[in-house]
Amino acid sequence: MSTTDGDSETSKGGGKNDASAPPPRQLTARGRDRRKKLLDFATQRFSENGFHPTSVSDIVDGIGVGKGVFYWYFPSKDDLLLEILRESLLDLRRSQRAQMKVYDDPLRQLEEGIRASLQWSASHPDVLRLVMFAWTEEPFAKSLRRGRRIMIQDTAKLVSAAMEDGLIKPGDATMLSTAIRGVTDELGRQYAVGDNPLSAEVLDNAVRFCLYGVTG
Amino acid sequence: MSTTDGDSETSKGGGKNDASAPPPRQLTARGRDRRKKLLDFATQRFSENGFHPTSVSDIVDGIGVGKGVFYWYFPSKDDLLLEILRESLLDLRRSQRAQMKVYDDPLRQLEEGIRASLQWSASHPDVLRLVMFAWTEEPFAKSLRRGRRIMIQDTAKLVSAAMEDGLIKPGDATMLSTAIRGVTDELGRQYAVGDNPLSAEVLDNAVRFCLYGVTG
DNA sequence: GAACGGCTTGACCGCCCGGTCAAGTAGTGG
DNA sequence: CCACTACTTGACCGGGCGGTCAAGCCGTTC
């Protein structure tokens, strides 16, 4: 496994932990459900209509609730998007972990991580489209940069392990991981914009490409 | 040359030509200047602040003119963006044509076209960032799809010519052109988001990659 | 059944946005 | 100097947006 278990994102950061953060709400089962509905519906609408053109009223009307509901679960519209981004990252990493944990060989884990990444992208085109938007506005881009750093670190740990095991010739693990991220990222974008489904063939080629690039 | 001269974009389309279009204004030299200033300033602000967060007032205040000026030159804020997209495409294609016209060999022209494309991208990161946004909202995306089609056709003409000359083995010219477009597009995006300048080395590799992919 | 806290409602608010327009000013051709 | 048109101004407008809040509902707990 690449990180400590659970959903921790950073074991240690710079100085303080999260700066602000009003006490996170205590939700009942019903509450968590509503929240999820909001998240999902918003993701869909944002991705098909654009973030700014979609108003908070559109969202609450869409699922047939009052406006106050929105602001019970999220402090602001921007925060909702940030939350979508955050949870998507969590979910993607969770998929990777689940798919990797079957193996011990770090190179094999690397492969499964790449596969999981591509598969996740293929099944979440709406999120990917939203991410494309998010790169174009600073507060969101900031969150994405952080996510990218985290994922590259995840990968780098694997690459380093493989180097220590002599499976990959020694080198700059971070650089290699960045390259892999570049490939999966771009492939992922294809699913966001294009209309081709994920064929096993494409998947295999992408994996081979990355692995070949890493092992030399 | 790949197309008839000048800035024509389509020699013939479907049924009618442009549907609407209020009589395009007759501008004096001073007018063309102002228009250009608006276009340039807006491009910059849109790309660094985001399209929606940048208001028309921001733009006119930024260059120190009244709001009416904006609406003298552009029918709406959306149209301004569409115009930026349109003119960028025109400019890119102009660069390509200029750089290609020195050669007769279609394969060499293809190479120069790719080079020109990459160079143009490297020197217009702000436009590329705007384009990233534009893909996320339908009316703008529509314009981008049209632009892509045009550029792929440009390339396909060259590829076909090269096939006829026996420089490339016969095949689906459009598909190959689409692949090339994929490469230049993604490379371009690096300049929009990343911070690395365009090295001659990267340029050469990209060109070699495309050409190699095409000639087999 | 009272009391409590999670949850919901929707009228309401202030702001600012895109867009308009009546009134000019500046350049230019006769 | 006039007339004409290209251009400029900025107060103004209607509307929709993100966000608030007093009030009420509902399920649990004791």
pLDDT digits (tens, 9 = 90+) for A152-201: 999 999 999 999 999 998 999 999 999 899 889 888 887 777 777 778 88
Burial class (CB in 10 A: 0-12, 13-18, 19+), A3: middle
Q: Is residue A56 helix, strand or coil?
A: helix
pLDDT of residue A212: 86
What does the alpha-carbon distance between residue B83 and residue B81 come to, in Å, rounded to a whole number? 5
- Residue in B53, B137, B138 nearest the CB of A137: B53
pLDDT of residue B17: 45
Q: How confident is the model at residue B107 (pLDDT cuts 50, 70, 90)?
A: very high
Tokens of B39: 């276009």
Interval B10-46: pLDDT, tens: 444 344 444 445 556 789 999 999 999 999 999 999 9
Q: Touching check for B71 and chain A: CB below 8 Å?
A: no
Q: Is residue A81 helix, strand or coil?
A: helix
Q: What is the mean pLDDT of residues A117-129?
A: 94
pLDDT of residue B18: 45
Asked if the Cβ–Cβ distance from A137 to B50 is below 8 Å, we say: yes
pLDDT of residue A182: 86
Strands (DSSP E) contained in chain B are none
Give the residue with greater pLDDT, B8 vs B160: B160
Residue A21 above 80 pLDDT? Answer: no
Q: How far in angstroms lies nucleotide D24's C1' from the CA of residue B186?
A: 55
Q: How confident is the model at residue A215 (pLDDT cuts 50, 70, 90)?
A: confident
Q: Is residue B178 helix, strand or coil?
A: helix
Q: How confident is the model at residue B115 (pLDDT cuts 50, 70, 90)?
A: very high
User: Helix (H) and strand (E) counts for chain B?
Assistant: 9, 0
Domains belonging to chain A, first-starting first, are: 29-74 (1.10.10.60), 76-215 (1.10.357.10)
Q: What is the mean pLDDT of residues B198-208?
A: 86
- Residue in B49, B137, B186 nearest the CB of A53: B137
- Residue in A51, A52, A193 nearest the CB of B135: A193
**Strand D bases within 7 angstroms of protein beta carbons:** 5-12, 16-23
**Chain B interface disruption, residue of A136, A190, A205, most B CBs within 10 A:** A136
- In 3D space, the residue among A152, A118, A147, A120 whose CA is nearest the CA of residue A135 turns out to be A147
pLDDT of residue A82: 98
Contact A110, A214 (CB under 8 A): yes
Distance in Å, alpha carbon of A176 to nearest chain B alpha carbon: 16
Residue B134 above 80 pLDDT? Answer: yes
Q: What percent of chain A has pLDDT over 90?
A: 69
Interval A178-189: pLDDT, tens: 989 988 988 888
Residues 6+ apart with CB under 8 A from B60: B66, B67, B69, B70
The CA-based dihedral angle spanning residues A82, B131, B190, A131, taken in that order and rounded to the nearest 10 degrees: 20
Contact A162, A180 (CB under 8 A): no
Q: What is the mean pLDDT of residues A1-14?
A: 44
Burial class (CB in 10 A: 0-12, 13-18, 19+), A166: exposed
A137 sits within 7 Å of strand D by its CB:
no
Contact A88, A128 (CB under 8 A): no
Q: In sequence order, which ranges of B10-49 are alpha helices (DSSP H)? A: 29-49
Residue A18 above 90 pLDDT? Answer: no
pLDDT of residue B126: 95
Q: What is the mean pLDDT of residues B144-171?
A: 95
Q: Touching check for B137 and chain A: CB below 8 Å?
A: yes
Q: What is the mean pLDDT of residues A80-107?
A: 97
Q: What is the mean pLDDT of residues B109-137?
A: 95
pLDDT of residue B10: 45
Tokens of B68: 């009416």
Strands (DSSP E) contained in chain A are none
Q: Touching check for B186 and chain A: CB below 8 Å?
A: yes
Distance in Å, alpha carbon of B140 to nearest chain A alpha carbon: 11
Contact A192, A129 (CB under 8 A): yes
User: What b/e sequence results for B62-75 when a residue is b if at least 16 CB atoms lie within 10 Å of its CB, and e otherwise?
Assistant: eeeeeeebbeebbe
Tokens of A96: 């990777």
pLDDT of residue A39: 98
B65 sits within 7 Å of strand D by its CB:
yes
